[in-house]
Amino acid sequence: MTMAAAAVARGAGARAAAALRGGCGTASRGRPCAGRARPLCTAPGTAPDMKGYLWERYREAKRSTDELVPSIMSNLLNPDAIFSNNEMSLSDIEIYGFDYDYTLVFYSKHLHTLIFNAARDLLINEHRYPAEIRKYEYDPNFAIRGLHYDVQRAVLMKIDAFHYIQLGTVYRGLSVVPDEEVIEMYEGSHVPLEQMSDFYGKSSHGNTMKQFMDIFSLPEMTLLSCVNEYFLKNNIDYEPVHLYKDVKDSIRDVHIKGIMYRAIEADIEKYICYAEQTRAVLAKLADHGKKMFLITNSPSSFVDKGMRYIVGKDWRDLFDVVIVQAEKPNFFNDKRRPFRKMNEKGVLLWDKIHKLQKGQIYKQGNLYEFLKLTGWRGSRVLYFGDHIYSDLADLTLKHGWRTGAIIPELRSELRIMNTEQYIQTVAWLQTLTGLLEQMQVHRDAESQLVLQEWKKERKEMREMTKSFFNAQFGSLFRTDQNPTYFLRRLSRFADIYMASLSCLLNYDVSHTFYPRRTPLQHELPAWSERPPTFGAPLLQEAQAK
């Protein structure tokens, strides 16, 4: 389990269940256990009281779990830690690369409202949508990143790492779709590979699903859902494919037409969060002789004003190479586009580029030319970005760079997972699941009624666990029992991940990140599920420092 606090709770559940089995933790992992369950003591000739027996086991499990919660609470994880999917030593990193948006710079909650309103108005003014949709406002608590959208059926949903839909998280408009309807719609809850989004999360080449991986996509998901809701509530017949394309084009135009850029530049203090310690991170790397570069899709003047605000007017002195309007992910794959130098006024020059010079700004280009001009190849390069596909996937798969994902949601999720209410709930949920697995051997009618009550409680607790994070879709990283599809891609394409670049300030430039040995289903969990004490510092240790 990637999220360490929940892993601790899972370990607690396993230990509580093991205690009920007489100390053996192997029964549920395919090996016989002599201490599986306490024998029933009944008088000769009388039938065993299965109901009483099962509820006694339930109460024992509850007591064992409650006793373990204080020890879990003493091992909370630091939300400012860096987490590792793949072993990596910073002592091997000579060159650091960065995306701009949501990597070097973070935006306030006002930006998503701006994008939503601007795209909504474009739908009305340019795509002739009903003016009544202007009554819908952006709800920052509706969607989460990583969701899939079925373009043809106009439903938004959360899918796990195995392509299964998490029932209860399928929304048509702003209303949840009943589980029975979802199962009928998809002939179960599994989405076949050919219907899933393509490599970059897009709905193309016959793929009917679009995955929203960008933080900027949160307003897009909400706008799609609001317009769907309007059409449904007013019994208006519409083509879902056209709606998806129109919303996508409107969101794109907010960026391409400069609406977002001009608004941020006009009121930079309103939209940019200053307190992410970006300058401190860059200065630390520069002091240790590290080379640095910036590759962003954003335009030059926009980046310059933002970096002047968060770093200072001398920000270019910190970077060896600056590339704007790179058009990632095409930048990493298209070998044909040459670099163009920009002068101080933003005018594109026609000179042939023989060297990427410090202090200059370049537009477009491609990674193959970048590698040729800089020689920065392989695992001595570490690149940070927030978009799992556009920023990281090609770099790790095709070019062997090390990658770091910036996941702003991580900090808030860890703070929730550090609460006693969450730990208590998850620990008992895991224990109850183990109890169900152990006691299912009792097939008599009386026992089955008790087990049905436990299953009902388990279902309610799952819904409660989901609502801790987001009432509609739950955690970014987990469905009921599996990692999300988002986490699957994060684990594949990012060597390390963290809430913000400021987390680097907690580590020495020679620090080695070691991934936890996550137990496989056929391995014992006892030793490997202890919370990590290196690589990802415990909250108490960080506070003590």
- Out of 101, 160, 304, 480, which one is annotated catalytic? 101
Q: What pLDDT was estimated at residue 26?
A: 38
Q: What pLDDT was estimated at residue 16?
A: 47
| 533 CB neighbour count, 10 Å cutoff | 10
Does 99 belong to an annotated binding site? yes
Tell me the pLDDT of the chain averaged across its residues: 87
Q: What pLDDT was estimated at residue 420?
A: 94
Q: What is the pTM of this model?
A: 0.87
Q: What pLDDT was estimated at residue 529?
A: 47
Q: SS3 of 324, please? A: strand
Q: What pLDDT was estimated at residue 525?
A: 67
User: Where exactly are the structural domains of the chain?
Assistant: 52-79+410-510, 93-107+271-404, 109-266
Looking up tokens 């997972």, which residue turns up?
417
Q: Is the pLDDT of residue 6 over 60?
A: no
DSSP letter, residue 278? H
Confidence of residue 49 (pLDDT cuts 50, 70, 90): confident
Q: Is the pLDDT of residue 302 over 90?
A: yes
101 in active site: yes
Does 179 belong to an annotated binding site? no
21 CB-near residues (< 8 Å, 6+ apart): 27, 33, 35, 36, 37, 438
531 cis-preceded (ω within 30 degrees of 0): no
- Return the closest-CA partner of residue 224 out of 127, 120, 146, 147: 120
- Out of 49, 80, 99, 314, which one is annotated catalytic? 99
214 in active site: no
524 CB-near residues (< 8 Å, 6+ apart): 25, 26, 29
The CATH topology of domain 93-107+271-404 is Rossmann fold (3.40.50)
Q: What pLDDT was estimated at residue 48?
A: 76
Q: Is the pLDDT of residue 542 over 70?
A: no
Please report the sign of the dihedral spanned by the C-alpha atoms of residue 429, residue 432, residue 434, residue 436: negative
Does 49 belong to an annotated binding site? no
Kindly state the average pLDDT of the residues 114-128. Answer: 97
Provide the token pair at 488: 């699957």
Q: What pLDDT was estimated at residue 532?
A: 43
Q: Is the pLDDT of residue 183 over 50?
A: yes
Contact 521, 96 (CB under 8 A): no
pLDDT digits (tens, 9 = 90+) for 53-107: 999 999 999 999 999 999 889 889 899 999 999 999 999 999 999 999 999 999 9
Q: What pLDDT was estimated at residue 4?
A: 43
Kindly state the average pLDDT of the residues 261-283. Answer: 91
Q: Is the pLDDT of residue 221 over 50?
A: yes
Please enumerate, as own/partner, the contacts of 279-287 that have beta carbons within 8 Å and a separation of 24 or more. 279/310, 279/311, 279/312, 280/502, 280/505, 281/501, 281/502, 281/504, 281/505, 282/311, 282/318, 283/318, 284/504, 284/505, 284/509, 285/96, 285/509, 286/318
pLDDT digits (tens, 9 = 90+) for 336-393: 899 999 888 788 888 899 999 999 999 999 999 999 999 999 999 999 999 999 999 9
Q: Exposed, middle or buried, 319 (CB in 10 Å: 0-12/13-18/19+)? A: buried
> Do strands 321-324 and 291-295 pair parallel, antiparallel, or not at all (unpaired)?
parallel
Provide the token pair at 284: 């630390």
329 CB-near residues (< 8 Å, 6+ apart): 200, 389, 390, 391, 393, 394
217 CB-near residues (< 8 Å, 6+ apart): 145, 251
**With DSSP H G I counted as helix, E B as strand and the rest as coil, what are the percentages for the chain, rounded to 5?**
45, 15, 40
Give phi and psi for 109, each to the nearest 5: -65, -20
End-to-end CA distance of the chain: 27
pLDDT digits (tens, 9 = 90+) for 13-31: 455 445 444 444 433 444 3
Q: What pLDDT was estimated at residue 528?
A: 43
What is the DSSP annotation of 452-482? HHHHHHHHHHHHHHHHTT-TTT--SSB-SSS
> Do strands 95-98 and 381-385 pair parallel, antiparallel, or not at all (unpaired)?
parallel
> Do strands 291-295 and 95-98 pair parallel, antiparallel, or not at all (unpaired)?
parallel
Q: SS3 of 341, please? A: strand
